[in-house]
Amino acid sequence: MDTERPQLQKFEKQDFSRRSFLKGAGATSAAALSVGGISSLLAACGGSSGSSGGASGAMQFWNFYAPGGSSKQQAQWFVSMVDAWNKANKSQIKLTYITDYTNGSKLQTSFASGQGPDLFLISPGDFLRYYNGGVLKDLTPYIDKSVQDDFYPDVIATRQVDGKIYGIPMEVEPMAFYYSVDAFEKAGLNENDVPKTWDELLEVGAKLKTAKRYGILFETTPGYYQNFTWYPFLWQAGGEVVDPNTKKSGFNSEAAVKALKLWQDAVKRGIAPRTTVGTGGSDIVANMNGNYAAIVNCGIWGISAMRESAPKFKYGVFKLPIPTGGKDRTIGGGWAFCANAKGPNAEEAAKFCAWALASAKEDSIQRGVDWIIKAKSDIGPRKSVMDAAAKDGGFSNGPMKIFKDEIAPGVRGEPRYPPEVYKPVSDAIQACMLNGADPQQQAENAAKTIDTFLSGYSGAPMF
């Protein structure tokens, strides 16, 4: 039941958004994950105690990059941005580095206790948790109409409700496969052997497997990020988690069964591991440079990670293979700046978000360019940013060119499903991939659970 979506064509008509969203959310209790539970807890935020910054103190900007993040270039980008704001404005900002931001619950619990930060980062995958909880500030009034139009429509759409913008994207991160050139050569393979179908992917993965190395690596830890990396395979086969037309689950489908079985077969045959190394499947350096796997399913951020931590490692990238009769699809994630609507500094926080990422001024555009081709490796969320980055040669050759020209045209936006929709899908993936469960039965179980939730859902649209 493939619902046709416009593909990205030269970044003019597109369907995408970014990477890892609160990876460890799957470990959170069902009560805490529920929209009702989160909404009522987040509703506790308010008044002058609604922010950890305090009305007279510096605004707190919670993030997982700076200061003290693992990437010096990315940390410096954040530091330089905040320094520039602080130098020109009476209202001040303090960066707060949260070590478990992407795999913990500190952000959720801070809002639940009425101490949410003034500024924070969220991905589309977790958008509805915070929007339905009433803590996202409407940023639309602070962004000129010309700049609103400068964002690619389907990038900004995942941060909008009723045409209003509640998060400003800083990046777009498509998923693909990375492969070790050395592993290919030792197995008698070359770039002409890059798999184009699911069957070929398993065949090549089997050839690359050794006693000390796996052939292919998929994310194995349950969470929003694992779902994020799995959705493209569902879409390629023509499936949907939720049908946007009927507003009912489409998960009980042949497509879902096929996608679940693909990952299951990879593990069952010993081609893919049951666990990852480093910080998870998104850690390309640990998993591929460390010779744990020859092919790794990872996003465009892997380019900058390899450039910074394994510059001599030879690798290639290729777009996700498709099933027989399938369609070219990948997924694009991306984090966005958000302001706490319940905090005492909501107005200034909103102004900062717009100034940083959504201004027509040259420094705002250049800031976007510096992020996507210098500090990191991404696709830009704005036309002006992409034009400037291309002019600087950011996509002229190598993996960045492949991502822009070959992978990005198949990008579809990161879904913003609430926890009650994400969790049954996660359970099905885990049961099939790691426990050998029947894909058909798991698809049926997930669909029933999702439909039960959808029958009473009253939050913002998921599409």
Percentage of the chain exceeding pLDDT 70: 88
Closest CA to 120 of 63, 45, 53: 63
pLDDT of residue 444: 98
Residue 354, pLDDT score: 98
E-strand ranges in 6-127 read 59-63, 93-97, 119-122
Hey, what are 271's tokens? Answer: 């081609």
Stated pTM of the model: 0.88
Secondary structure (3-state) at 350: helix
At 162 the pLDDT is 96
Residue 9 has pLDDT above 70, yes or no: no
Q: Confidence class of residue 41 from pLDDT cuts 50, 70 and 90?
A: very low
Task: Encode pLDDT of 403-415 as tens digits.
Answer: 999 999 999 989 9
When mean pLDDT is compared across 47-51, 189-193, 314-318, 451-455, the lowest value belongs to 47-51
- Rounded to an integer, the average pLDDT of 1-5 is 34
Only one residue has tokens 């700046």, namely 337
Cβ count within 10 A of residue 346 = 19
Whether 32 has a pLDDT exceeding 90, the answer reads: no
What is the pLDDT at residue 380?
A: 97
- Note the pLDDT tens digit of each residue in 347-368: 999 999 999 999 999 999 999 9
For residue 54, name the pLDDT band (cuts at 50, 70, 90): very low
Q: How sure is the predictor about 22, in pLDDT bands with cuts at 50, 70 and 90?
A: very low
Residue 38: pLDDT band with limits 50, 70, 90 = very low
CA 265 to chain centre: 25
Mean pLDDT of the chain: 89
Residues 6+ apart with CB under 8 A from 54: 48, 344
Nearest to 453 by CA among 1, 28, 34, 31: 34
Phi-psi region at 412: left, alpha or beta (left = phi > 0; alpha = psi -120 to 50)? beta
Name the DSSP letter for residue 348. H
Collapsing DSSP to helix, strand or coil, 172 comes out as strand
Mind listing the domains of the chain with CATH numbers? 23-172+333-405 (3.40.190.10), 173-332 (3.40.190.10)
pLDDT per residue over 115-155, tens digit each? 999 999 999 988 999 999 999 999 999 999 999 999 999 89
Q: What is the pLDDT of residue 57?
A: 86
